[in-house]
Structure 1
Amino acid sequence: MAEAVDADIELESTPVRETESDLIAATLAWSARRFGAHAARFVRPTASGGWLVVTWMNDAISVHPADAAEAAMAWMVALGRTHLLVGKPRVASLEDRGLRPIAARNYLGLPVICQDRVLGVIEVAGELRPDVAAAAAAAQDDINRFALRLGYDPSLQPLQALAPESRVVLSSGAWIDPQVTVSADALRFAAALVGDATIEDVAASTGMCLDRCLDIARDLARLGLIDIVG
């Protein structure tokens, strides 16, 4: 049986990560530790309509397309919108009194959902910690933060190239560093965005030079304050 681990384990305050893959790997490693598993998986939908399985084990990541059973399980957990814990007893031998269970093999699925958008399901299985149900409930805030970063953190995605004709718009602000500081010129740039506009239009309306506006747009996009829409 897995030994109980400290119930106060918390997801570390996440520094800005270079890639989405780094964030997923760190979250899966944390999930395995938190629930007492040797491995953790993230089953996520793809743009083509399929599902992809990202597995963390022994500090390494592997990826493979989900088969029909894996995809169906992920959908079931995601549609339930709450964690799913299933116990599957194993049997050692057949005795006079019937089947003798020797271990409880558990499955825990945690849906990763951001604003009604299904981003995937975190899965752990095996001899999990005895209080895994309580641990899953306590982990929900951390899972929600993971979903928010995965869905909206601009630092996880490569920045699109910007040109004078690029169209930008103020973002929803779903993921913004609370400590962000912007210049007076950046505020002028943002104030000029009524709906979407090209960078050259903003330069003309604010009187700032085009090169300065391009630099500001890159900085604001990197901070998640504007979105590049065309």
Structure 2
Amino acid sequence: MEYLPLVFLSGADELPLPEPEALGAVEGRSAIVYGPEEDDDGLLCHAQGWDMGDLVLEPTTPANGEIPSYNKALIFLFAKPNLLGFFADWKSFQKGAHHFRRPNLVLTRRARQKQRLRLDGDIIVRRRNGSTLLSKLYDFGPSGASFYTDAADFRSGEMLLAEFEISGCGSCETTATIVRVETLSHSHYGYLVGIYFHLTKAQLQKAEQLYLCKKAEAIRQLSAPERHRWAPPETV
């Protein structure tokens, strides 16, 4: 269980032996399931609620061929306004959905506590297939970011390594999971990819520093006298 706080988020609250109704895993909530294999990019699912104490997760794409048996899976569940992380024992696959036993311990924290900032910056994305991509950031916050790309093979649930640089503030590197891919119709780029960071305590502090640095810069720009028609003249 020591692994979970590292890949989850620092500052999370612990829920030992939680009751199902306390987790907010209602029908339609999104979840990502990871198996024990190192090359597992994660399986995006929708929660179907609880069945006799078992958490039911239905894959967003129908299974082709052999149905995976997860044994013990790492699951991230987006139960707004909270993000949950826990290990759960796989029980069975029935009627197109995976059934997991109720977890013994759940880590939870509120998702996206700070609004993201629009900014110009670069992000280097390293994928598990060995490819590296340089892209432009669209927005950034302490818990995640989004970037432009023309690559058409990004998928929700994919885990990657992201290194981003915020001009005038610094840089940070962290693992991240893709949580959405949007097709753009009126843009120079084909897609907008949203990612959620998996931060250690030190990485979280760095990300928050970058956010506050850029936030302060934005505030300074908004408060600059030349932006306001009725601003008093500067004194020498």
Determine which structure has the larger strand proportion and give its number: 2
TM-score normalised to structure 1 length: 0.22
The structure with more helix, counted as a fraction of residues? 1
**Which structure has the greater CA radius of gyration?**
1
